[in-house]
Amino acid sequence: MKILFICDPVANFKIHGDSTIALMAAAKDLGYSVHYALPKDIFATNNKALANSIPIEILIKTSDLNTIAIPWYTEHKKLSNCDLANYDAVMVRNDPPFDMEYYYLTQILELAENKGAKVVNNSYALRNFNEKLSILNFPEYISPTLVSRDKAVILNFIEEHGDCVVKPLDQMAGRGVFKLSENDANLSAILELSTNYFNISVMVQKFIPEVIYGDRRVFIVDGKIISHCLHRIPQGNQIRGNLAAGGRGEVHPVAEKDYIIANDVAKWLNKHKILFAGIDIIGNKLTEINITSPTALRQIFAHAGIDIAKLVIESITPRD
C-alpha cells in the first residue's frame, strides 16, 4: 500500500507541532509507504492526474511524536510521472490561501478520482466548501454574519450590530482578522485594507464576547466526533486564540453543548463525503469548518492520548 501527501515542503515542517507529521507516522505504522509532492508537482496529461513525487522513509513511530527529534525522515530519489490513480490514497495537506492555483489543483485531483483514486478530503469538497463560508449552512449556530465587498452594505451591518470582526475568506491561522466598531478611527482604513478597496469580499460577523475565553477546535473523523478538543486561548489583549498567533492550547473533553453543534455538522460532512474536519466554536457559535488541512492533532495526542491521525488513516479504505 502507498499513500501520497500533497503538502508544503517537508523540510519546513515544525517538528514539535505539525499534524502532517502525525499523519505520515500513522501511515507508516499502518503499513503504507509514504510519498509526498508539492502542489506544483501535481499536473495533468490529457485525462491523467500525475505527480513528480518523492518517496520518504519515516524514521519515527506514532509513539515517538511527543519526543520527536531530527532527523525524522529521509528522502529517496524523486519519481516522475506517477499516476495518482495508482496510490491507495492521496491526502491533501497544503495550507491555504485558497487561490486559483488551489482551484486548479482540485480540478486535477478530480481526474484522479474519476479513475478510482481516494482523495482526502475529496476534490469537490475542497473546491466548493470554503472554511469560513461553510458555516452559512448552519444559520442557527452562527453569529450574525455578512459576506460582501460593498462598502455601504458592510458599514450598515456594523452600524446594526455594533462591535464586529472582519475576516479574509482565503486565509488561515487568524491572519487578517480585525475587530471593528462603528466609531473606530481606523474603520475605513481597515476595511480598505481587508477588501483591497472594496474589490474583494470579506466576512463580517457580530463580535462574540466569549472569544476572550478562547475557541474550541473539535475534530470529526468519518462522521464520528472525537471526545477531546483543543481550547485555544488568546493571550494579553488579543482576540485571536490561534496557536500560530500566540494563543495557548489546552486539551479538554468536548462539552455537551458542543456535541449538539458537532453532531449536526457531522451529518453534513457525511452527506458530502468529507472524511476529516476540524470545526471551531466560540461561546455557543460555530465559526469555521476546516476541511483543507485541519491541525492540532499532536496536542490532542500528547495530552489525551487520542491518535486522531491513526483514525484518519484507518478510515481510508484501500481500493479492491
Catalytic residues, which ones?
132, 167, 217, 232, 240, 280, 288, 290
Hey, what's the cell of 145?
454574519
Residues 6+ apart with CB under 8 A from 283: 208, 209, 210, 211, 213
Q: Residue type at 205?
A: Q
Alpha-carbon distance 164 to 157, whole Å? 9
CA–CA separation, 60 and 117 (whole Å): 27
Strands (E), 119-175: 119-120, 145-148, 164-168
Q: Go through 47-79 and write b for each residue having 16 or more CB atoms within 10 A of its CB, e for each that does not.
A: eebbbebbbbebebebeebeebeeebbeeeeee
> Using CB atoms within 10 A of its CB, is residue 151 exposed (0-12), middle (13-18) or buried (19+)?
middle
Phi first, then psi: give them for residue 211, nearest 5 degrees.
-60, -25
